[in-house]
Amino acid sequence: MIQKKTKIIKHNTQKLHGFVFQVNITVQSVVIQSLNGMRTLLNSKDVLRHPMILDEMCMNVVLGVSYHITYTDAGEIIEAAASFVLGAINKEALSVQQSFEISFTQVNTKPVPLSGNPGYVAGLPVRAGFKPQKSGIIQSTNTYGQLTILQSTSNQDCLAAQGGRTPVLFGYNMISGCKLRITAAVKCQPLTQALLDLLKGQSFPEYVASFGNSQAENVHDWVPIIHLQNSEQSPCQIPVSLEIEVKWTKYGSLVNPQARIVNVTATTTTTTLKQLPSGRERTIPILSSVVFTDISSPAEPGYKAWPTINAKLPFDFFFPFV
């Protein structure tokens, strides 16, 4: 049974004198789907739709629900809405396929547009995210903060560049860097972790969307990032560069090919840190780069084979000439 403002989300993060603030879920829309897949939007969202049996069919079965949550910059949920898709199934059906979606929007902000439809558009951000176990892809609401590299500063100081990131834009080869001063008092392990955070940021993604409009629930439309490392044999190895290579190909028709990412590698290069004498300093360049490589095969137009004529004539068709 569906009724407007009948379900409640409990927002347990705010309590005042023992009370828990609650947000009602409003029904945004109800859509009826026929057996052939045609959908009809109901004019009234307050109509109760009870499941019922009619002519060996189970009617008003929930086939899909989409939740939309609106929150403030402080993390407070202020609105919640749900859209339902109802349909009919045969009583003899062995299984029912249902879909559930949830999206979050910060108040007074606009949803971030996609990076292409379906293929990537040059100059738009490469979409990336994480994949927890038994879950779909989780993306940041900030498209420009999903796959990023180190942002260069005017003075080339790595300490001043900490936290500064620039988005990876599809089709744009990029390089950035800074310089780090090392003294004899620097310890190996803390320096190694600090440089990794500088090169990869606080949360380096695990997957990249193969298309500009890849949906988070379609895990097969996402490409895992392969991590490689070039290192030497020594007691103390510190990372000095991060090289990201994005391989893509043209997908679809010759008339309107679509850009599709097929492989992403992130290579970390390390160098040996030798102990400096007391009072001495050493300057190390730290680099981060992105390279896009087109691995498309040469396009060859295809043509259908010429039709074969299988004609059978009577044996005396050319009589009396033959």
What are the Cα distances from residue 173, in Å, to 26, 44, 151?
46, 52, 14
My answer on whether 101 and 147 are in the same domain is no
Nearest residue to 3 (alpha-carbon basis) of 26, 34, 37 = 26
Amino acid at 184: A
Q: What are phi and psi of 8, to 5 degrees?
A: -135, 135
> Is the pLDDT reported for residue 239 higher than 60?
yes
65 is a domain residue: yes
| Tokens 């052939």 belong to residue | 36
My answer on whether 17 and 91 are in the same domain is yes
Rounded to a whole number of angstroms, the CA Rg of the chain reads: 29
My answer on whether 79 and 148 are in the same domain is no
My answer on whether 142 and 180 are in the same domain is yes
Give CA–CA dist 318/322, Å, rounded. 6
Within the chain, residue ranges assigned H as helices are 158-161, 188-200
pLDDT the model gives residue 112: 59
Average pLDDT over residues 285-295: 96
Give CA–CA dist 37/85, Å, rounded. 11
φ/ψ region of 55 (left if φ > 0, alpha if ψ in -120 to 50, else beta) reads left
Q: Is 219 helix (H, G, I), strand (E, B) or coil?
A: helix
Which pLDDT tens digit goes with each residue over 161-216?
677 889 999 999 999 999 988 888 888 899 999 899 999 988 899 999 999 999 88
pLDDT the model gives residue 322: 65
116 is a domain residue: no
Range(s) of the domain holding residue 79 = 7-106
Q: What is the mean pLDDT of the chain?
A: 84
Question: Confidence band (pLDDT; 50, 70, 90) for 4?
Answer: very low
Give CA–CA dist 112/209, Å, rounded. 15
> Is the pLDDT reported for residue 11 higher than 50?
no
- Would you tell me how many other CB atoms lie within 10 Å of the CB of residue 217? 12
Lowest mean pLDDT among 14-23, 153-162, 183-192, 311-320: 14-23
pLDDT the model gives residue 111: 65
pLDDT the model gives residue 114: 84
Cβ–Cβ < 8 Å for 257, 248: no
My answer on whether 176 and 52 are in the same domain is no
Task: Quote the number of domains for the chain.
Answer: 2
My answer on whether 283 and 136 are in the same domain is yes
> Is the pLDDT reported for residue 6 higher than 90?
no
My answer on whether 90 and 137 are in the same domain is no
